[in-house]
Structure 1
Amino acid sequence: MTAEWRPVRQSRTHELVLERIEERVLAGELKAGDRLPPERELAPVLGVSRSALREALRVLETIGVLVAQPGRGPDAGARIVRNPDDALGRLLRLHFALGSYRLHDVLEARVVLERSSFEAAAEHASAQDLDEAEALLDRMREPGVGAADFNDLDTRFHVAIARSSGNQLTSTLTSAVRESVRPLILRALETAEDWPATAAALNAEHTELLRLVRAGKGAEAADLAEVHIRGFHGRLVDENAPTEQEQEREREQEEEGRAGADR
């Protein structure tokens, strides 16, 4: 197997290692479940140092396409996997925190994705899928549930509906977008003036959403999903809207960034 690997150029070594591995994935020569050769074998045939190889493997772990198991034995080493949900959620959360995306942009993305999810779930979701969503709602309705647990269950409910839609990409994107604003939504829940009333109102909408999906009323479920998201999430957008001075500063920074890129 190692004889099939070709050496890489030495400039930007770890990036070139990534390119080589990506080539093999795109060519179908590496698939989920396949193991990479041990570092001591792979580094020489690629013509790179083991430290450069490890750097490339760490990047692949971060983006959710590889898991490395240290030690010896049949389970040791690096293995190709498919785990995009956590990786995309982490990536979007960091970029949102850095200001790469506005809260309004995240809101609109959620609306588009979840309208699609709820409408498709009304047509494709199995009884087992919907029973699992119902179980999450039962836990959200429990007396005394705190904001942190509620936020976790809320996220899982929306992701469960997306998964039941039959579109894995929509499910992954829904999970990533919802995860990106999880800390902000949690802070809003924790600072709600009347937490029991807030939880009850959100649960009432969740309950109706699930009822519509069970009844196969996809268009109505999609409309209510948008109202639901624009309600609570929309208030976050209004509360966190930048001032005119902040908007002007953002425009100046964008112009400086474009000017730097042109140079």
Structure 2
Amino acid sequence: MPVERASERAHDAVLRHIEDSLRSGGLKLGDRLPGERALAEQFGISRASVRDAIRALEVMGIVRSATGSGPNAGTIVVSDPSSALGSALRLHVASQRLPVKDIVEARVMMETWSLAHAADAEWEPGQAEEARRLLEAMDDPGLPSPAFTALDAQFHVALSALAGNSVVSTMMDSLRESIRGYVDDAVSTRGQWHDIVGELRRQHWEILEAVEARDGERAARLVQEHIEWFYARTL
């Protein structure tokens, strides 16, 4: 069995190797990592340490592992940063280390910036139409509140993506998902859903109208009012 390195956690060598390979282009999205045995022999560590490294990469959203055989088996480089960031933020919000108020303020900063800049950005085909389809789905009067809030999250992420900044989009996605638990709890425990859902729909359509008109200043103002209004109503 390989001798573990005493000066560092054994699996750190694997993590650094993956990082360096991604930077250099030696590894790309869709590539498959070598098997546990090959990695263990390459780095002189145990297969258990290799498994620890793979699990860490999965948590970070860098790879996806699947057992069995076939084209989807093994450990594949996928890169899903919003999932990893969102999970970490949700846990820290749950631990009360990150106050919901601060998360909401960060959302306001991200979304107002995004909608202000979306006005002058080049949109990918179908981006604005996707936001409209989400609002049309939310107009269903029989839609349960958890389904509505899930679509709501997708709508805000879709609008933020119009600015064309992938880092902002990823952070926005993570911030929005980090307060999904708070939103769902506020909706279910405060008994105000039927009182506010109509206003949420109206605000959403007004925001989209400003976005489609390429009125960045108005869109940014409306989304800030929308976020702060909901937060104030559900305190």
Tell me if TM exceeds 0.5: yes
Instruction: Select the residue among 9, 14, 19 that pairs with 2:5.
Output: 9
Structure 1 pair 22/153, CA: closer, same or farther in 2 (3 Å)? same
Judge conservation of contact 1:90–1:180 (CA < 8 Å) in 2. Answer: yes
Give, in angstroms, the shift of residue 192 of structure 1.
4.4
Stretch of structure 1 that moved more, 135-144 or 179-188: 135-144
Percent of matched pairs sharing the same residue: 39
Does the 8 Å contact 1:122/1:212 carry over to 2? no
1:52–1:207 CA distance, 2 compared to 1 (3 A): same
- Listed as ranges, the matches of 1:73-152 within 5 Å are 73-124=70-121, 125-126=123-124, 128-152=126-150
**SS of residue matched to 2:33:** coil
Residue number among 153, 167, 178 corresponding to 2:176 in the alignment: 178
For residue 202 of structure 1, the aligned residue among 189, 200, 203 is 200
Quick one: distance in 1 between partners of 2:15 and 2:75? 14
CA distance in 1, matches of 2:61, 2:137: 30
- Amino acid across the alignment from 1:36: L
Change (3 A) 1:170 1:74: same
Which of 43, 66, 70 pairs up with 1:69? 66
Q: Are 1:192 and 1:198, in contact at CA under 8 Å, matched by a contact in 2? A: no
Alpha-carbon distance in structure 2 between the residues aligned to 1:38 and 1:18: 15
- Structure with higher Rg: it is 1
CA deviations on 1:40-97 (whole Å, 9 max, x unpaired) are 2121111011110011000001110011121234442212122112111111101111
In 2, Cα distance between equivalents of 1:76 and 1:128? 32
CA distance in 2, matches of 1:72, 1:147: 40
TM-score (norm 1): 0.81
Query: Aligned with 1:123: secondary structure?
Result: coil
Maintained 8 Å contact 1:88/1:176 = yes
* Secondary structure of residue in 2 paired with 1:13: coil
Alpha-carbon distance in 1 for matches of 2:99, 2:199? 26
Q: The residue matched to 2:120 in structure 1 has which SS? A: helix
- Secondary structure at the aligned position of 1:93 is classed as helix
**Could you tell me whether the CA contact under 8 Å between 2:107 and 2:176 is conserved in 1?**
yes
Q: Which runs of 5+ in 1 are unaligned?
A: 1-6, 240-263
The counterpart of 1:20, out of the listed 14, 17, 20, is: 17
Aligned residues: 231
SS of the equivalent of 2:29 reads: coil
| SS of equivalent residue, structure 2 residue 76 | strand
Most deviating of 33-42 and 71-80 = 71-80
Show the 5 A alignment for 1:154-193: 154-193=152-191
User: Distance in 1 between the 2:97 and 2:182 partners?
Assistant: 16
Gaps of 5+ in 2: none
Q: So what's the TM-score if we normalise by structure 2? A: 0.90
- Aligned partners of 1:30 and 1:234: how far apart in 2? 47
